[in-house]
């Protein structure tokens, strides 16, 4: 629901550029670590450097004693006079999947725009994954589903940011449908991060059920604007459903605000129940605050 009075002005566009160059560089120093191993393997270190098999180039790093000589890039040595080794990603390895809700309800918040917050947090986590040589794919859905095929290596960070910066908000969410489309192109094991305001419990449960069926380690980034968490209103207002357009006229009273807060607490409790049922976790993100650093996520 959007809160709207009769002099309401539309929210400004979320803006094109998500992250400052200095922030991108700092985020490259973080890594994503599993909180629950998938497939019985140890947490962290999702990449694989197996000999042979189906692999693709990921990145370069400086040679260190003990590296296999056959992985040294001798052409780079001839040009630069330094030893570098090639790193590869096993195409069958686990994947980090970002699922961004770009429905109309996310196009709200003014300076604390929910959609822009979702994109910034997704960009930050994606950079950490790519810098740590995890494979990464992304999907977004609202008016239509947008997909980013699996990427690998630091060199793919620009492509990730291009994808996220090109997204627009509108339409009705279908998180489960978007996830199903993403799973058709990406490895079906690994970690799933969902960026959404999680308004529809039924849709959330469908998404969690689908993710659990594939054994995905799922984190819900629950994004709300400050005025949704603690509305400060008085007088005559109209509530407009951002996705259906339904409109309700209300007169705001202290009793009404109290009832709203109780309903919100109940909604969050039901979300946590769903997470427990399907083996996921929920992280609250206030779009009016600085996005959480990757190290602060449980």
Confidence at residue 40, expressed as pLDDT on a 0 to 100 scale: 40
Top pLDDT among 52 and 256 is at: 256
Please calculate the CA angle 276-281-286 and round it to the nearest 5 degrees.
Answer: 130
Confidence at residue 9, expressed as pLDDT on a 0 to 100 scale: 40
User: Strand 95-101 and strand 135-141: pairing?
Assistant: parallel
3-class DSSP state of 58: strand
CATH node for 93-286: 3.40.50.410
Confidence of residue 187 (pLDDT cuts 50, 70, 90): confident
Confidence of residue 6 (pLDDT cuts 50, 70, 90): very low
pLDDT tens digits, 149-165 = 999 888 899 999 999 99
| pLDDT exceeds 50 at position 176 | yes
Confidence at residue 245, expressed as pLDDT on a 0 to 100 scale: 80
Distance of alpha carbon 197 from alpha carbon 238, whole angstroms: 20
Mean pLDDT along residues 177-184: 94
Strand (E) or helix (H) holding 244:
none
Percent of the chain topping pLDDT 90:
48
3-class DSSP state of 132: coil
Mean pLDDT along residues 18-40: 71
Question: Where in the chain are the domains?
Answer: 57-89, 93-286
| pLDDT exceeds 60 at position 201 | yes
Mean pLDDT along residues 97-122: 95
Q: Are 57 and 47 in contact (CB under 8 A)?
A: no
Global pTM reads: 0.76
Confidence at residue 177, expressed as pLDDT on a 0 to 100 scale: 95
pLDDT tens digits, 259-280 = 999 999 999 999 999 999 999 9
Q: Are 274 and 207 in contact (CB under 8 A)?
A: no
Confidence of residue 15 (pLDDT cuts 50, 70, 90): very low
pLDDT tens digits, 52-101 = 344 556 566 666 665 667 778 888 778 888 887 776 655 446 799 999 99
| pLDDT exceeds 50 at position 45 | no
């Amino acid at each position: 629901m959007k809160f709207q009075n009769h002099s309401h002005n539309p929210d400004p566009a979320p803006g094109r550029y998500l992250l400052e160059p200095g922030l991108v560089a700092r985020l490259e120093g973080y890594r994503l670590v599993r909180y629950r191993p998938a497939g019985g393997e140890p947490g962290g270190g999702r990449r694989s450097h197996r000999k042979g098999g189906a692999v693709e180039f990921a990145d370069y790093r400086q040679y260190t004693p003990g590296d296999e000589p056959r992985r040294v890039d001798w052409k780079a040595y001839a040009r630069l006079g330094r030893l570098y080794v090639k790193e590869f990603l096993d195409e069958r390895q686990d994947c980090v999947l970002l699922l961004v809700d770009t429905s109309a309800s996310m196009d709200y918040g003014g300076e604390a725009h929910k959609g822009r917050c979702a994109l910034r947090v997704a960009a930050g986590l994606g950079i950490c994954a790519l810098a740590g040589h995890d494979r990464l794919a992304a999907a977004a859905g609202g008016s239509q589903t947008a997909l980013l095929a699996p990427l690998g290596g630091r060199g793919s960070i620009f492509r990730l940011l291009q994808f996220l910066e090109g997204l627009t908000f509108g339409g009705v969410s279908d998180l489960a449908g978007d996830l199903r489309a993403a799973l058709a192109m990406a490895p079906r094991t690994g970690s799933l991060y969902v960026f959404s305001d999680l308004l529809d419990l039924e849709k959330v449960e469908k998404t969690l059920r689908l993710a659990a069926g594939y054994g995905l380690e799922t984190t819900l980034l629950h994004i709300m604007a400050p005025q949704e968490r603690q509305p400060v209103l008085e007088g005559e207002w109209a509530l407009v459903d951002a996705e259906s357009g339904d409109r309700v006229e209300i007169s705001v009273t202290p009793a009404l605000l109290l009832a709203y807060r109780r309903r919100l607490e109940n909604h969050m409790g039901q979300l946590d129940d769903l997470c427990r049922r399907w083996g996921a976790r929920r992280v609250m993100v206030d779009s009016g605050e600085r996005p959480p650093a990757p190290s602060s996520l449980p």
